Amino acid sequence: MVISVSYAQEFRGTWLSRDAFASKETLAKVMDSLANNNINVVFVNMWSRGYPLWNSKKFYEETGYYIDPNYQGRDLLAEAVAEGHKVGLHVEAWFEYGFVGGWTGNNPPGGKGPIFVKHPSWIARTQNGTEIDNSNFYWMAQANPDAQDFLISLTTEIARNYDIDGIELDRIRYSSLQYGYDSTTIAIYSNDHNGTPPPTNFQDTSWTRWRANNLNQFMARTYDSIKAVNQHINVSNAPSLYSSSSYTSYDSFAQDWYWWVNNNKIDNVQVQSYVGSSISFGNIIDYIKTKVNYLKVFPAFAISPDGSPLALADLYNFVNITRQKGFKGNAIWYYKDLMPMLLSFKENVYQAKSYPPYTSADWRENRDLTSLLNSQNLIKTGEWLFSNVLGYSGQSLYANPGNLASVDYYFNVPASGTYEIYAFVITGSNRPDSAIYKLYDSTGTEIIKSINQSTANNRRWQKIADLPLSTGRHKVMSITNENLAANKVIGADAAMIILNRAKSPNSVSGVESELQLNKKKEINFNLKSFPNPFNNQFKLVFNIDKINKYKITMFDITGREILSFYKGPKVTGEQSEFINLNKYNISSGVYLINISQENKQETIKIILAK
């Protein structure tokens, strides 16, 4: 068995299918487990079987449905963002079904999907008029401009309304080359070819090329549309490749993902290769390197490519072969198969935390959580009683009507910016439908919001608002029993803040910000830390050009000093300092190391991963 070294920047993704959403508690456990075992990206299924799994105004306008009826009253994307970002995961909205507009398994007999009720002409067909494919899916005609615009509008709706880290497209292809004979596609092709209809030979090379080119332009429009809304969203795709010598995705599905990568109309791809040996896997990714910029490729593999899980040693080799060949990470299909093996993966190949290569170490680290156990940052006034209803960290609190009672929530705000403010909501029939939450921005301005604590769908984390906050410790929220009806009780539990990257893409920690603004800062120490990430012990290496005292300081991302010391060097040139944190009771996360000497200083990020 090959035991890997630590990789500070490495893509480690997995896909969450619908069964991860069985309940809010299930989703929370999945997210916690993935983060605890050093996975860093989750693709959450959001466009599935012809329905959105978020509250989509666009879909409602077309069909009269906001969300898949199986999840009525929930917003699965909002839940995934809250639970994923709480533990530092990068959350990507996965459009698993792409151009698929319906599935027989969740429609009444004869039903094709709600989008086809409104737009029957959108449905894809073969030459003999067949609509349904071998998997019981109905597809939207890939060349239909209205269907394309509809799918793009779903992606941009998410980009506008959610602080997500990425959008991953999937099934941006044909079900097979037999499709493409719907009336709209025939008309568009004929118009492009002086009235000549598509060839009757569905494998005709020019006909395949035309369909692929049309999809390429769709991907380009989708990419540009998402980036126009939020340039920081990672736009990815999960294409396929099953051979080390042929372009199977193009040959079978008219899916020309090489073009997407080479023409910069995708940020990265998680190429699916369902093979049973690491040797075959290695041959396929060798072939990929000859075709595209492989640094944009994160090869994906299945735990159970033929329905039975591969041996752990073989799976470790998939990861290590990817590393040996210079790729920057993997995606693993899919979370349900991976979950029983997470600890083994952590112990053998994902020993330390890492962050995706296309982002910064602190992209999802600027957050804080105040629970009922935090007596310093959660301050109660009036009478609060313990409830039998469990909250985030044990029994929750409640207050009766009458004498004023409130809970004030303070947070250590790690970076100035706009934050999402969340409350952990305890629900019950005896709770108010408009519980009062008071929020305080960086100027101290009070903003009053309310949450319905009487509906079960609002339990767990509920976003209250986006709020500008400045670095440091501040009171951000209060819950009060003001105006509480005589027959009601109000609940209180944990709260958290998470930096909204859509609204604060360039925020850095308070310490880092001050150092960047410091006119004395001149980086010439060439400061490095090994290993990084580390587990309690690390070595700093740097250069100095003067025999004067230097100071080394370690901060957390809120600006709290962890340690500091001065040294008087005897010679100039390369220096090293070994630092042992075993005696410090600090948790895993991102920290800052600063070295200063006279009028020069430099700061780097380090990651503690216990």
6 pLDDT tier (thresholds 50, 70, 90): low
Among candidate residues 178, 93, 190, 192, the one with its CA nearest the CA of residue 139: 178
Fold of 510-608: Immunoglobulin-like (2.60.40)
Q: Tens of pLDDT along 398-436?
A: 999 999 999 999 999 999 999 999 999 999 999 999 999
For the ranges 146-150, 361-365, 496-500, 511-515, the lowest mean pLDDT is seen at 511-515
Where do runs of H (alpha helix) occur along 505-608? Answer: 510-517
- Predicted local distance difference test score (pLDDT) of residue 509: 67
Domain spanning 367-499: CATH 2.60.120.260: yes
Domain ranges of the chain: 11-348, 367-499, 510-608
Distance in angstroms (rounded) separating the CA atoms of residues 483 and 436:
9
Q: Do the beta carbons of residue 477 and residue 421 sit within 8 Å? A: yes
Could you identify the residue written with the tokens 């604060």? Answer: 504
Q: Indicate the helix (H) or strand (E) that contains 43.
A: strand 41-45
601 pLDDT tier (thresholds 50, 70, 90): confident
Distance in angstroms (rounded) separating the CA atoms of residues 96 and 17:
9
For the domain bounded by 11-348, which CATH number is listed? 3.20.20.80
- Predicted local distance difference test score (pLDDT) of residue 518: 47
The number of helix segments (H) and strand segments (E) in the chain equals 14, 31
According to the 3-state scheme, what is the secondary structure of 394-453? CEEEEECCCCCCEEEEEEEECECEEEEEEEEECCCCCCCCCEEEEEECCCCCEEEEEECC
Asked if the domains 367-499 and 510-608 are classified in one and the same CATH topology, the answer is: no
Q: Tens of pLDDT along 308-341?
A: 899 999 999 999 999 999 999 999 999 999 999 9
- Predicted local distance difference test score (pLDDT) of residue 489: 97
CA 493 to chain CA mean position, Å? 26
Could you identify the residue written with the tokens 């006119």? Answer: 519
